[in-house]
Structure 1
Amino acid sequence: MSKTNTRFISTKKNIREQVYDLLRARMRLGEIGFGDRLVDHEIAAELNVSRMPVREAMMQLKNEGLLEGTSRGFILRQFTPTDIAQIFEIRLLLEPEAAMQACRNATIEKLAILNTHAQSTEQAHQQNDPLAYMEANDRFRASWLNMTPNTHLRETIQRLSNHVEAVRLATLREAKYRALSLQYTQELLQGFIEENPEKAAQAIRSNLRSAALSYYSTLDVLLENPPVGSSALA
């Protein structure tokens, strides 16, 4: 897989933030794998920037629990199946509440954006493009989550979701799992449109349970043949 574009464009973000965004994009798309070692001076040379902002970006990723430090750079953090099960348990407690808050906080403008992202996920699924699907699904998720007024709740959910994104990468490559994900995306959108917080919460519960079952149904195969970027399968 070719790496995400490394050319920085004019932006309000500083170099550290741009490096962070680039590394996160590569992690989400599986371009950084479990066997990869991230070294600050190598990344700095690739991006034609100084080492300090690269180091700071990787330290931020370490503090967020996505990287582990070694004597020679950083590697993706390893999560066991037990870790993942516990993360899903916590998400089941938090995300339905966040969805209800977001539903109550929705506006016509925000729903229009949400609907656009939902349509993009459907289009990507129909085109059998798993990476485009995951990118569109990320935008849909970020949109509804940003409608949740509780900042700390949003940040906690996002951090936990980041820790199991390799599960998404592994399972959403298969059409049958994308179809289930799309179904719950559409149910969540409908809950928002109908101004029905409980319907939105139920869509989140169903989606999380489905994601967990998808992971466990493929666990044996994934443990034997970890996909690129599969930090969750140690």
Structure 2
Amino acid sequence: MPTSLTVAAKATPNTAMQEPKQSIRERVYRHLRDKMRSGEITYEDKLVDHEIASQLGVSRMPVREALLQLKSEGFLEGTSRGFVLRRFTPTDIANIFETRLLLEPAAAGDACKNASIKGLSQMRSMVTAAERAYAIDDIPGFMDSSDAFRLTWVGMVPNPHLVQTIDRLRDHVEAVRLATLRDKAIRELALMHMKHILDAFLEADAEAVKERVAHNMRVSATCYYSTQETILSSSAERGTEPLTAKSGDL
């Protein structure tokens, strides 16, 4: 578990005591979700409530509640000492992608209909940044641009409940998804899909957006399965658990 965990807006040691417990729990929950999404929490980490509470400078109970919420949502598994990231089987991942294919293309179509000039400009900027990163083999930069591109169009989906659902499903396969963009060929493919999706958004063609997002997801699923098999085979040979990398999903 990383030791540099902090909670935003922590002003003084007494701040946590003065805020409602629910607010602290939500902040801890979001903090841990962000760490999981970025790959800073891996399969090797044990998440122990009193250790996290000490690192964050908060009481143990809201941390415990945040961990139990992550467990109930399927992100974590309980062990004899703390929690660990849940390990998904290939069947689990296939089912998750099947559900995402039912939701995300339609959500992207709604985002296209609800698109703002600012949002479209941000998407264009992220494609430009991804092109620059790809040209110089800046893998972290490319990953950040890819994530920001997706977050921008998801941020224009008008249904917040739909956004929460698709984000949760996407995060469930984070451990495998995080590894895909290590491969330059996959980065090239991801960049092409980003451009195609952007073009459809700029043309205000919601049907084309839905089709291109669905196509990207099918290709991404194929890459994920291949990556997962490689990770599991490599881990079996080393006798260790797989580690996370970074995302290639648009």
- TM-score interval for Structure 1 and Structure 2 normalised by the shorter chain: 0.7 to 0.9
Give the 3-state SS of the residue equivalent to 2:182 in structure 1: coil
Contact 2:126 2:148 in 1 (8 A): yes
Work out whether 1:61 is the aligned partner of 2:70.
yes
Counterparts of 1:4 and 1:135, CA distance in 2: 23
Residue pairs, 1:81-160, within 5 angstroms: 81-160=90-169
Contact 2:130 2:191 in 1 (8 A): yes
Contact 2:176 2:227 in 1 (8 A): no
CA shift at 1:109, angstroms?
1.9
Bigger radius of gyration, 1 or 2?
2
Match of 1:21 in 2: 30
CA shift at 1:136, angstroms?
2.8
Match of 1:33 in 2: 42
CA shift at 1:11, angstroms?
7.2
2:199 to 169, 172, 190: 190
Equivalent pairs counted in the alignment come to 229
Structure of greater relative contact order (alpha carbons < 8 Å, 6+ residues apart): 1
Contact 1:3 1:26 in 2 (8 A): no
Gaps of 5+ in 2: 12-18, 236-241, 246-250
Moved over 4 A (4+): 2-5, 11-14
Match of 1:10 in 2: 9
**Amino acid of the residue matched to residue 9 of structure 2?**
S
Give the 3-state SS of the residue equivalent to 1:148 in structure 2: coil
Summarize the Cα distance change of 1:8–1:129 in structure 2 as closer, same or farther, 3 Å threshold: farther
Give the 3-state SS of the residue equivalent to 1:75 in structure 2: strand
Aligned identity (percent) is 50
Counterparts of 1:196 and 1:51, CA distance in 2: 50
Q: In angstroms, what is the RMSD of aligned CA positions?
A: 2.5
Greater shift, 97-106 or 49-58, is seen at: 49-58
Question: TM-score under structure 1 normalisation?
Answer: 0.86
Counterparts of 1:217 and 1:101, CA distance in 2: 31
Counterparts of 2:132 and 2:224, CA distance in 1: 24
Q: Residue deviations 1:122-176, cap 9 Å, x none? A: 3333343333333332222122112122233222211111111222212122221
CA shift at 1:101, angstroms?
1.0
Summarize the Cα distance change of 1:44–1:128 in structure 2 as closer, same or farther, 3 Å threshold: farther
CA shift at 1:117, angstroms?
2.8
Give the 3-state SS of the residue equivalent to 1:71 in structure 2: coil
CA shift at 1:23, angstroms?
2.0
Summarize the Cα distance change of 1:41–1:138 in structure 2 as closer, same or farther, 3 Å threshold: same
Counterparts of 1:217 and 1:94, CA distance in 2: 23
Gaps of 5+ in 1: none
Match of 1:173 in 2: 182
Greater shift, 111-120 or 204-213, is seen at: 111-120
Work out whether 1:229 is the aligned partner of 2:238.
no
Q: Residue deviations 1:161-218, cap 9 Å, x none? A: 1111222212122221122112111111111101111221122112111111112233
Residue pairs, 1:195-214, within 5 angstroms: 195-214=204-223
